[in-house]
Structure 1
Amino acid sequence: MNLYTERHGLRKPITRTSEISKEVYALLLNVCQKYYKNLTHIFKLQQHCSFVGQGYIEFNRSQFENRMAIKIPNILRDEYGHIAAPQDNDDYDQYSLIDLIEYVAENIKDISEGWNNDRYKNYWDIRCLDTTNVFDDYRNEINEIFQESGLLFTLTRGKLIERIVENSPLSPEIETQVQQIAEYGTRELMKDAIALYKTPNPAARQDSVEKIWDAFERMKTYYTNLDKRDSANKVVNDMSNGQLEFSAIFDAEFRALTDIGNSFRIRHHETSKIDITDNRHYDYFFNRCLSLIALAIQYLK
């Protein structure tokens, strides 16, 4: 639902960011905690009600917390060792929270729960089901907070959190074209590059650029019956449809990208290479290389 100021254009645009604030951290953690019970199929606590002589199941929070200490060791905890939201000046690792969101998404299952008896209410029982319809509700709640807070993340149907890159040429259509590249090595390098590019952690930017440059260099040798220079020339000629003006443009871009890969610290790491210290420059390099490859793969035979 759009509120009054949103409907009438009276609200300032939301600042888009990749930094999870303390307040948003708490909101996201609350959503995770709301669905902890949907992990009961993994973390079962067998209980027994002596009054009626029946067993029942609860969510085993202690077992869950112990497991998370191994799976997500850097996630923030309170003085009692429980996963908690940051308070005051607490330092926190926002990517550990993303790990938790993904863990719940990957393992969430439907449950049926209620009192054993509506009159006496001896115990509250959780019954685990083998379906995952609840994932849609969980995903919608997480993504609603991402959207309303301006966070450049999304929880995908594939149960992974990916970053949202504004003004990027990467599209589902390009990803489909990548899947159809006949040459295995180029295809796998491109898939790896795209996956790293979508990863929320900025540390993956360098790896994504390195992978896409590896794919670019391998694409030059796509036609294995030709040497590298002739193979690259064939790719350029096919892209230009025999038009000299376009051939000149694409040839110049091939050379420019080759020079970038050799001059900057992308594929080579000698001290003489130019360091890239701004992640926005990584995005620029990735998208520039992607634009050329996305066009070229449409002409590969």
Structure 2
Amino acid sequence: MSLYTERHGLRKPIARTSKISKEVYTLLLNICEKYYKNLTHIFKLQQHCSFVDQDYIEFNRSQFENRMAIKIPNIFKDEYGHIAAPQDNDDYDQYSLIDLIEYVAENIKDISEGWNNDRYKNYWYIHCLDTTNVFDDYRNEINEIFVESGVLFTLTTEKIIERIVENSPLSAEIEAETQQISEVGTRELMKDAIALYKTPNPAARQDSVEKIWDALERLKTYYTNMDKKTSATKVVEDMSNGQSDFITVFNAEFKALTDIGNNFRIRHHETNKIDITDNRHYDYFFNRCLSLIALAIQYLQ
């Protein structure tokens, strides 16, 4: 349900961002902590109730934090060495929190829990189940915080965090089409390029553009029974339906993208190449190249 100011247009639009603030960090960490007990199948603390002479298990927080110290060494910790939310002027690594969110998502399982006896309540038990229905609840809670805070990330059904790119031509349909490319090398390069493009860490932007430019160059040699020039000509003629005006347009676009790849620091890293210092320019280059490839692959034979 939307709130009053949302319903009546009295609220400023949420600022969209890729930065996880301390406040949002705290909310996301609280959700992770809420579901720690759903990792008990991995981190079991064996207990015994002498009063009723029965064994039971609890979530082993100490074992869990020792494991996270190895798997996610940069996760923020308090002065006692416990995983915690940053305070005041604390520095923190938001991508380590993303690691934690993904770790919980990957390993979360359903549990049954309760008092051993409703009357005497001798101990609280956790029974580990071999199902993962609880993942949907966890995912919904994580994504609700992302949406409400304007953070451009999402936890997918594949249990990974991806960034949300607004106004991008990349769609599920295009992704599906790229996986139908029969030439293995081009298909794998496109798969890698898209995965890097969707990665939250901005450091991956350069790698995503490099991969998609590699895919573009390989696309020119798609027809392996021809030399590169002849193959590239056939690709353009096919996607132009033989119409001379479109051949001119697509030849010009292939050349323009080739020149960008050669002149900017994309596929080559010599000192005379033009550096790309704004990640929004990486997104522009990626999407421009993607648009051409996405059209071309619809015509490949």
Q: Which residue of 1 aligns with 2:156?
A: 156
* Amino acid in structure 1 at the alignment position of 2:117: N
- Aligned pairs for 1:51-130 within 5 A: 51-130=51-130
1:266 aligns with 2:266: yes
Q: Distance in 1 between matches of 2:283 and 2:239?
A: 24
Residues 201-240 of structure 1 aligned to structure 2 (within 5 Å): 201-240=201-240
Counterpart in the other structure of 2:282 = 282
Match for residue 293 of structure 1? Answer: 293
Task: Give unpaired runs (5+ residues) of structure 2.
Answer: none
1:203 shift after superposition: 0.3
- Inter-partner Cα distance in structure 2 for 1:87 and 1:14: 24
Report deviation, 1:139.
0.2
1:125 partner SS: strand
CA drift of 1:259 comes to: 0.4
Partner of 2:169: 169
The answer for the alignment partner of 2:15 in structure 1 is: 15
Aligned-pair distance for 1:144? 0.2
C-alpha separation in 1, matches of 2:217 and 2:51: 73
Answering whether residue 24 of structure 2 is matched by residue 24 of structure 1, we say yes
Q: What CA distance in whole angstroms lies between the structure 2 residues aligned with 1:43 and 1:89?
A: 33
Matched, 1:137 2:160: no
What's the secondary structure of 1:147's corresponding residue? helix
Residue by residue over 1:211-267, the C-alpha shift from the partner in whole angstroms, topping out at 9 and shown as x without a partner, is 000000000000011110110000000010011111100000000000000000100
d(CA) in 2 for partners of 1:242, 1:180: 24
Count of matched residue pairs: 301
SS in 1 for 2:86: coil
Following superposition, the deviation at residue 8 of structure 1 comes to 1.2
Code of the aligned partner of 2:287: N
| TM-score, normalised via structure 2 length | 1.00
TM-score (norm 1): 1.00
RMSD (Å), alpha carbons: 0.4
Show the counterpart of 2:38: 38
Percent identical among aligned pairs is 87
Output the CA distance in 2 between the equivalents of 1:24 and 1:186. 39
C-alpha deviation, 1:154, in angstroms: 0.3
- In the TM superposition, residue 10 of structure 1 has moved relative to its aligned partner by 1.1
Which amino acid in structure 2 is aligned with residue 213 of structure 1? W
Match of 2:255 in 1: 255
Query: How many Å separate the matches in 1 of 2:280 and 2:14?
Result: 20
Letter in 2 for 1:132: T
Counterpart code for 2:118 = D
State how far apart, in whole Å, the 1-side matches of 2:84 and 2:125 are.
26
State the partner residue of 1:242.
242
Distance 2:101 2:236 in 1: 44
DSSP-derived class of the 1:90 partner:
coil
Following superposition, the deviation at residue 9 of structure 1 comes to 1.1
Runs of 4+ in 1 over 2 A off after TM superposition: none
Q: Which amino acid aligns with 2:23?
A: E
